[in-house]
Amino acid sequence: MSEFHDDYPSYETMANHDEASGKKTRKKIWLVFTLLLVVTIVEIFVGMMAADWGASKLFLKVFFISFTILKAYYIIYSFMHLGDEVKWLKWVIIAPYSGFILYLIFMMTIGEGNFSKEARHDLPPATEQHKGGGGEHH
């Protein structure tokens, strides 16, 4: 009887896992883990040093978005087994997300992200805030 106290001889045998495929799987997991760890350490390092380097906000945005997409790709590809699927299924899953990401980038590029700042109704219009000129007090 196995350690699970049931009638099945062993779950590894039922799943047709042998030691060679287990080593291959563990090697793949450690490779992906190491890659994600390195990418994360680079992100943290760049985030800490960006002010000292005088990096522009545009560079930082592009850098962090790119590295986040890279990490998401490897997580989906490896741990969610998308890399093992057929090509058309990969596209069925990835295309809607890619389209949405491109839409968000387009909206940020044309400035739609600032619309909420300009269209606030709870603040007085910018032209009326500084009426009166040279500091008159009543």
Residue 9 has a pLDDT of: 59
- Per-residue pLDDT at 63 exceeds 80: yes
Res. 106 pLDDT band, cuts 50 70 90 = confident
pLDDT score of 12: 56
Whole-number Å distance between alpha carbons of 131 and 46: 44
Cβ-Cβ contacts under 8 Å for 36 (sequence gap 6 or more)? 71, 74, 75
What are the tens digits of pLDDT across the range 3-29? 666 666 565 556 666 777 778 888 888
Residue 93: per-residue pLDDT: 83
Query: What does the pLDDT read at residue 40?
Result: 92
Whole-prediction pTM value? 0.55
